[in-house]
Every structure is written in C-alpha cells, then in structure tokens.
Amino acid sequence: MVIYAEDRSSDTLFELGELYDQQEANFDQAFNWYRKAARKGSRKAQHRLASLYARGQGTQQDFARAYAWCKVAVFQNSRCARRKLKLIEARLDLQQLRRGRWLAQEYYDRYVVHRLRLG
C-alpha cells in the first residue's frame, strides 16, 4: 500500500519540514513539507513557512506571503508568529500590506475554517 503525503497528519508533515529545514538545510524540501502541513492547518508550519518566504529560502522572497502565513498562525494563537508578524509588517509598503491581509484571509478561510467545518 502506498501512503501519499496528503494522507499524513499535519504533525507528520511539519516534522518532515523540520527534518529538511534543521538537519539537512534543504530549504526546497522544507518549504514543500511546511506548505503541505500549513494547508492542513498546522500553525507551527504556517509560522515556519512565513519565515522561509521572508528569507527567500526554498522559494522566492515574498514579504506579503510571509505576512499572510504568519497572520494565519496568529489567528490560531501562535505567540511566536505574533512577534515575527511585527517584524515582517515593518518591511511592507502599503500595497504589500493590503495584499498580505487579503491573502491571510484567503488562506485562513481555505485552510483553517474549511478544515474546521469538515472535521
């Protein structure tokens, strides 16, 4: 039997991201696994994904997306993300901030609220 990544828990996907991020320094793979876990509602993965977007590791640097994923983690009561959000927000111009807020709402509705309704 084949087990697909989409069938794994958000915790398992996050741990795979951690493995590639912390031990292997393979940011492309870390980004991939964190994104899968973030889309399953993991606030830790959302926070880490925001960090990768902010640093441009494993993906193109994008402060609006970094802000959005960090904000979604904040919506889920992540204190670490709350601190990071202030740092990211300071780097945004008004247009990026608007885009980040719009994306945050989009991601929250799609990846958190939708999963809550299904669960």
Domains, the chain, in order of start with CATH, read 8-118 (1.25.40.10)
Q: What is the pLDDT at residue 1?
A: 34
Give mean pLDDT, residues 89-94: 96
* pLDDT reported for residue 8: 80
Model pTM above 0.75? yes
Report which DSSP code applies to 59: S
Q: How far apart are CA 34 and CA 15, in angstroms?
A: 9
The token pair that represents 90 in the structure block: 């300071």
- What would the two tokens of residue 109 be? 């509705």
Q: Please compute the mean of the pLDDT values over residues 73-97 and round it to a whole number.
A: 96
Q: What confidence category does residue 24 fall into, taking pLDDT thresholds of 50, 70 and 90?
A: confident
Q: Average pLDDT, whole number, for the chain?
A: 91
